[in-house]
Amino acid sequence: MTSFVDTHCHLDAPEFGDEAPAVQARARRAGVRLGVIPAVGAFNFDTVRELAHRQGDVYALGIHPLFTPKAQQADLQTLARALRAQLDDMRLVAVGEIGLDYFVPELDGPTQEHFFRQQLVLARDLELPVLIHVRRSVDKVLRHLREVGRGRPWRGIAHAFNGSAQQAQACIAQGLKLGFGGAVTFERALQLRRLAAELPLQVLVLETDAPDIPPHWLYRTQAERDAGQPQGRNEPAELPRIAQVIADLRGMPLQALAEATTRNACEAMPRLAHWLDVVEAPCEPAQQGPARGQESRV
């Protein structure tokens, strides 16, 4: 069976309730061998870690920009302690979800930039990859990556990338892979579909951002939602169908895309290889030296 890695899925989200085991079972049947479950704040650090261990997935710890309004400076200290305490846990694969969001107008720019910057420093210090939220913020994210990175490449992913071709190249130059998911399934997403088709294969990774960013076959229009139809809930089992859209855009076999994006995910988060080897996934060690160092979670 063709196998996939979902590099970004919030399986602890309230939308799933107590269905996480069933969601995971559907994902495994669909060929999704591993999911990366990112935290969004100090309040769910333990939750994502325990869920990843219980379900055989992996996790990341970080403070999401949408949750910075309620975050405290002490939460950064909590994050540092949690990362150091779990540093030998091979299921801990990255610092995330962190980043910047300039789509939500109520978010305070300096506050979220402070939290992002401090988490980048922590990731460098602990030599961990980063999972970065880049919604309408790519240029600002890049500035912080350059300043904290001081010329050294990063490991990690620009999650749910939806920027320009120039911004894509700038993220790649910083060492990041680019995450593609449900948004690419919409025919009107012309720029995003062009990037999915034309960017070098070695920079693409797959993700769902479940339960968010549903693909077009799950999406409900505003009129449908007003009429009482619930928004479609995304989940990792949708990943192979999303991947097929990308494979078709690139004119390549689905199996080849699955193998390449699995290798790319391992390059972005090298600890994935430890778990994917167990299921004989096509994963290769990265060549680049290690980097040092309910709202929507889109």
Going through 43-129 in order, the beta strands assigned E by DSSP cover 58-61, 92-101
244 inside domain: yes
pLDDT digits (tens, 9 = 90+) for 101-152: 999 999 999 999 999 999 999 999 999 999 999 999 999 999 999 999 989 9
Q: Does 13 map to a domain? A: yes
For the chain, what is the domain count?
A: 1
* Residue at 295 is within a domain: no
Q: In what order do the strands lie in the sheet with 4-6?
A: 4-6, 32-38, 58-61, 92-101, 130-135, 156-159, 177-180, 204-206
Structural domain includes residue 182: yes
pLDDT score of 224:
83
228-255: average pLDDT: 95
- 8 labeled binding residue: yes
Torsion (CA) 209, 276, 49, 161 in degrees, nearest 10: -20
What confidence category does residue 277 fall into, taking pLDDT thresholds of 50, 70 and 90? Answer: low
Question: What is the 3 state secondary structure string of 227-242?
Answer: CCCCCCCCCHHHHHHH
**Would you say residue 204 lies in a domain?**
yes
Tell the burial category of 287 from Cβ atoms under 10 Å away from its Cβ (0-12, 13-18, 19+): exposed
CATH number at residue 181: 3.20.20.140
Range of the domain at 240: 4-276
Would the annotation count 88 as a binding residue?
Answer: no
Query: For residue 293, is it within any domain?
Result: no
209 labeled part of a ligand binding site: yes
| Cβ-Cβ contacts under 8 Å for 23 (sequence gap 6 or more) | 11, 16, 210, 235, 236, 237
Judge whether residue 286 has pLDDT over 50: no
Query: In Å, how far are 82, 156, 209, 228, 284 from 36, measured between CA atoms?
Result: 17, 12, 10, 32, 18
Cα 15 to the chain's mean position, in Å? 18
pTM: 0.92
50 annotated ligand binder: no
**Domain assignment of residue 282, yes or no:** no
10 is in an annotated binding site: yes
Does residue 284 form part of some domain? no
Distance CA 174, CA 164 (A): 15
The pLDDT of residue 229:
79
